[in-house]
Structure 1
Amino acid sequence: MQEFHDALFPTAISFGATGGPERKVEIVQLTSGREARNLRLRHSRRRYDVGTGLRALADLYAVLAFFEARRGSLHPFRFRDPFDMKSCLPDQAITPLDQPLGTPEGEPAAFQLAKTYGTGEASYVRPIRKIVAGSVRCAVDGVELREDRFAVDPATGLLTLADPVAPGAALTAGFEFHVPVRFDAEHLSLSLTAFKAGQIPSIPLIEVSL
């Protein structure tokens, strides 16, 4: 796996992106007329096109410089999903009660930050790896912890508690996050449309698994 570049794609451009999650489902038509469906990948994979986010010639140059610095599709990087970037709804404020924490990993107790979609047995739990530094709030049984009582690795999304917690305690957290992506194209097709204006019709990005 190539080195991950801890660089954030220009947020002003990502705000105008289009895209969302993709699911790989294998569908087989049976002789009975029914379908057999198999989920090929456990987690969804997000695709975006940020060409729609360009507004000025400066945006074109910013994308060009970012593309070259990443060596095209070689190195993945951080992307701010304009539709899904918080533990809560995009228009709400983060709280320490937003999401339940995952299963402990290692000693002292470490928890993988995650976001749950849906409710009940059909819910989907998405591991969150690329955290926005300083955005995490954490609570035990509804009581928010001070920042010095936990630590978060923004590169892996692992949260480590400074103190042990009682078995069965409700651990929750709120946070802001990025999506690890890479360019899904070998070249950029740049054009100048007018004085101080340009466009790149398509700039595809695809989520990578880390």
Structure 2
Amino acid sequence: MAFHEVRFPDDISRGARGGPERRTRIVELASGDEERNSPWADSRRRYDAAYGIRRADDLAVVVAFFEARYGRLYGFRWKDWSDYKSCLPSASPSATDQIIGEGDGNTTQFQLVKVYASGAQSYSRRIVKPVDGTVLIALDGIAQGSGWSVDPATGVVSFAAAPGNGVIVTAGFEFDVPVRFDTDRLDVTLDIERMGSIASIPLVEIRR
């Protein structure tokens, strides 16, 4: 996948709009009942970065970023300010935030995940773009300062020695969303006072 490990400017993404979407197919039966199913196992996030543009200089930054990504060709990192931590927005990540696996004495690699739970239901989201330097790891609740590494391009945690059988592996982290522009054209407006805007800058999450 064509991807640039660079993040969209934070000061512009802070004012953006967007979030997760699902795809649900609903069939209404002759009885008035309905059947619902989804072809998507995972959600997909969409954003519009245009709401974060406040100055003419922001326009130049976005246009340069768009040109360097060749429009929709190359993906990039995006900070979703509403959801970028393994914990609640008001808290700081800790090594016990998320369970990412259980040791069996042989497995040395574990994928970072974030679980969204409500009532008895939950959804486990793969985290593939952790922010370098923010990942914390614990084994059975004990923080591990060494003996492991994480690939910031995939979110895979690798241990030098496999965690023992039944050992709970947990992690805390900040993360970005892999996205791409969902357009090959930017409609830029610059008025007489040099105040500018772009009608829409759609972004869509890249799922692997």
TM-score (norm 2): 0.94
Give matches, 1:169-180, under 5 Å. 169-180=167-178
| d(CA) in 2 for partners of 1:91, 1:121 | 24
Q: Establish whether residue 135 from structure 1 lines up as the match of residue 134 from structure 2.
A: yes
Q: Map residues 9-28 of structure 1 onto 2, 5 A cutoff.
A: 9-28=8-27
Q: Which residue of 2 aligns with 1:198?
A: 196
1:54-76 deviation per Cα after TM superposition (whole angstroms, max 9, x unaligned) = 01111100000000011101111
Query: Secondary structure, in 3 states, of the residue corresponding to 1:101?
Result: strand
Q: Take 2:101 and 2:113, find their aligned partners in 1: how far apart are those partners?
A: 7
Cα distance, 1:89 vs structure 2: 1.5
SS of the residue corresponding to residue 191 of structure 2 reads: strand
**Runs of 5+ consecutive residues of structure 2 not aligned to the other structure:** none
In the aligned structure 1, how far is the partner of 2:101 from the partner of 2:54? 40
Deviation at 1:121, TM superposition (A): 4.9
Deviations 1:51-102 (A, max 9, x none): 0000111110000000001110111111001110010122211100110014
Secondary structure (helix, strand or coil) at the match of 1:5 reads strand
Where in structure 2 are the equivalents of 1:1-210 lying within 5 Å? 2-102=1-101, 109-119=108-118, 121-146=120-145, 148-210=146-208
How far is 1:166 from its partner? Answer: 2.0
Q: What is the deviation of 1:122?
A: 1.5
Classify 1:39/1:176 alpha carbon distance in 2 versus 1 (closer, same or farther; 3 Å): same
Residue 140 of structure 1 aligns with an amino acid whose one-letter code is L
The 1-side partners of 2:59 and 2:102 are apart by 43
2 CA distance for matches of 1:193 and 1:93? 42
SS of residue paired to 1:131 = coil
Relative to structure 1, is the Cα distance of residues 194 and 52 closer, same or farther in structure 2, using a 3 angstrom cutoff?
Answer: farther
Structure 2 Cα separation of the partners of residues 76 and 207 of structure 1? 9
Could you say what the CA RMSD is over the residues aligned between the two structures, in angstroms?
1.7
CA distance, structure 2, for counterparts of residue 194 and residue 54 of structure 1: 17
Change beyond 3 A, Cα 1:174–1:205: same
The alignment's TM-score, normalised by the length of structure 1, stands at: 0.93
Identity among equivalent pairs (%)? 48
